[in-house]
């Protein structure tokens, strides 16, 4: 996996929600051939957001859909990545959420590209 993109919740929610302002752009990105990695922490955060905004059934459907997409891999927790994420989170002193720090830690570990519509994550 040399050209992997790491998904953030802002990107995943945009793909899943047709009413999201970034839905069209996210759909175009999602259909590109490069693989997408979803850190397990981001998968959890995304399903919690869908559950909160649209209910359990929508969250279950979204989770099942994400889990079955070709080219998408949900990555298990990685202690070294989580250590890096913690360091990034602490360094940013409240200017970045912990899940955003997880995305940046995955990206910086092997120079992957973040998929995000969150201004805190440079793209």
**89 part of a folded domain:** yes
pLDDT surpasses 90 at 113: no
**What's the whole-model pTM score?**
0.88
CATH of the domain at 31: 3.40.50.1010
Task: Give me the domain span that covers residue 21.
Answer: 5-114
Token representation of residue 102: 């997880």
Q: Half-sphere exposure of 30 toward its Cβ, with a 13 Å CA cutoff?
A: 22
Structural domains counted in the chain = 1
Q: d(Cα 8, Cα 102) in Å, to the nearest integer?
A: 9
- pLDDT confidence band for 123 (50 / 70 / 90): low
- pLDDT confidence band for 1 (50 / 70 / 90): very low
The answer to whether the beta carbons of residues 73 and 36 sit under 8 Å apart is yes
The answer to whether the beta carbons of residues 42 and 102 sit under 8 Å apart is yes
**123 part of a folded domain:** no
Q: d(Cα 54, Cα 33) in Å, to the nearest integer?
A: 29
Percentage, residues of the chain above pLDDT 70: 98
The alpha carbon of residue 80 and the mean position of all alpha carbons in its chain are separated, in whole angstroms, by: 18
Other CB atoms within 10 Å distance of the CB of residue 120 = 15
**122 part of a folded domain:** no
């Amino acid at each position: 996996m040399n050209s992997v993109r790491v998904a953030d919740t802002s990107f995943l929610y945009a793909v899943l929600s047709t009413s999201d302002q970034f839905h069209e752009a996210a759909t175009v990105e999602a259909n590109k051939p490069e693989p997408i990695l979803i850190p397990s922490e981001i998968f959890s955060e995304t399903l919690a957001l869908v559950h909160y905004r649209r209910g359990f059934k929508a969250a279950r459907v979204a989770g099942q859909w994400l889990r079955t997409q070709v080219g998408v891999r949900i990555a298990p927790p990685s202690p070294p990545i989580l250590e890096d994420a913690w360091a990034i989170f602490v360094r940013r002193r409240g200017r970045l959420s912990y899940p955003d720090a997880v995305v940046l830690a995955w990206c910086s570990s092997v120079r992957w590209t973040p998929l995000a519509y969150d201004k805190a994550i440079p793209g």
